[in-house]
Amino acid sequence: MKVGRNDPCPCGSGLKYKKCCLGKEKKNYEDMEAVYLKKYGIRLKHRKDIEAIKRAGVIAIETLDLVESKIEIGMSTDEINRLVHEFTVSKGAVPAPLNYRGFPKSVCVSVNEVICHGIPGDRVIRDGDIVNVDVTPILDGYYADASKTFIVGNASEEARKIVAVAKESLKRGMAQAKPGNRIGDIGWAIQSYAESEGCSVVREFVGHGVGFKFHEPPQIPHYGRKGEGITLIPGMVFTIEPMINLGKRHLKILDDNWTAVTADGSLSAQFEQTILVTEDGYESLTPYEL
């Protein structure tokens, strides 16, 4: 663990690290696991869990690759839903979105000004659209959550910019994921970068623990302050999924009670991966190039 001797002990005792857990990591790991569960409701993942989430992650990535190969002008978002649903089921997995809190489809498809939770339907993809596809297969009871925003056809410079900024935001957030860092470091890295590009960060939706369930503690805001929040420790598995708007950060929810759109109608983009905090950094369980 990269915790300074005089830093507060990550176990939450309030003592300095050197007066508390320093040098007792082995025995202490089990204590930490109990502390993180009791204090934060966080269930650390063990090797067998991680391997299982990774297997679900392979399906998530293969699904996104399949959509990328098929997406085209004139296609409806419902056709993407069918593609995702059939592929997921063919792999022996279950699409987590279907019937999740009443969500009616197997994937979220969010076009242009739609921030997230777009319900697949009759909307047809047009030349220059940016389309986020967010998939969460459940395999053997384990969840992996990932998304990408695809650029279809000839996109405007603005569209290409917001997609690039959202992608770089995820990359910078992930780079903060290492033991001893805080959850706030992730949000700080994303917010400071995205705002320096003149873009804004959505606050109403956040990253989340994942693996045993679709959404577990902790929450991972994509905004925040360096050094604040829970200390990251090995075995934590969570998503980072910044939603970045070209205009202002505010949103509204449509009458379907799901679709989140930018209040000002500006473009929004998002990338998401499920990551594991390791001894010396992180490993993506839904890896793709950023």
Contacting residues toward ligand MF3, per CB under 6 A = 97, 100-101, 103, 108, 117, 134, 136, 145, 239, 241, 272
Does 274 bind Co ion (CB under 5 A)? Our answer is no
Peptide bond preceding 218 in cis form (omega within 30 of 0): yes
Give CA 86 to chain center in angstroms.
Answer: 23
| Shortest CB 290 distance to ligand MF3, Å | 17
Contact flag: residue 63 with Co ion (CB under 5 A): no
CA 138/CA 144 separation, integer angstroms: 7
φ/ψ (deg, to 5) at 43: -100, 110
CB nearer Co ion, residue 81 or residue 239: 239
Q: Following CA atoms 36, 223, 168, 231 in sequence, which dihedral angle do they give, to the nearest 10 degrees? A: -20
* Sign of torsion over alpha carbons 51, 56, 57, 59: positive
The answer to the question of residue 284 lying near Co ion (CB under 5 A) is no
Complex with ligand MF3: residue 22 or 98, whichever CB lies closer: 98
Residue 239: CB minimum distance to ligand MF3, A: 6
Residue 117 binding target from ligand MF3, Co ion, none, CB below 5 to 8 Å by type: ligand MF3
Which of the listed partners (Co ion, ligand MF3, none) does 97 bind, with a CB threshold of 5 to 8 Å by partner kind?
Answer: ligand MF3
Of 28 and 273, nearer to Co ion (C-beta) is 273
**Nearer to ligand MF3 by C-beta: 141 or 153?**
141
Sign of CA dihedral 29, 31, 35, 38: positive
Residues whose CB falls within 8 Å of the CB of residue 111, separated by 6 or more in sequence, listed in order:
77, 118, 123, 125, 129, 130, 131, 132
221 lines the binding site for Co ion (CB under 5 A): no
Task: Report the 3 state secondary structure along 100-164.
Answer: HHHCCCCCEEEECCEEECCCCCCCECCCCCEEEEEECEEECCEECCEEEEEECCCCCHHHHHHHH
According to DSSP, residue 252 is labeled E
100 contacts which partner out of Co ion, ligand MF3, none, CB within 5 to 8 A by kind?
A: ligand MF3
Task: Determine which residue in the list 145, 148, 186, 200 makes contact with Co ion, applying CB under 5 A.
Answer: 145
- Pick between residue 8 and residue 121 the one whose CB is nearest to ligand MF3: 121
Residue nearest to ligand MF3 (CB): 97
Q: Which of 239, 245, 266, 270 binds Co ion (CB under 5 A)?
A: 239
Residues engaged in binding Co ion (CB under 5 A)? 134, 145, 239, 241, 272
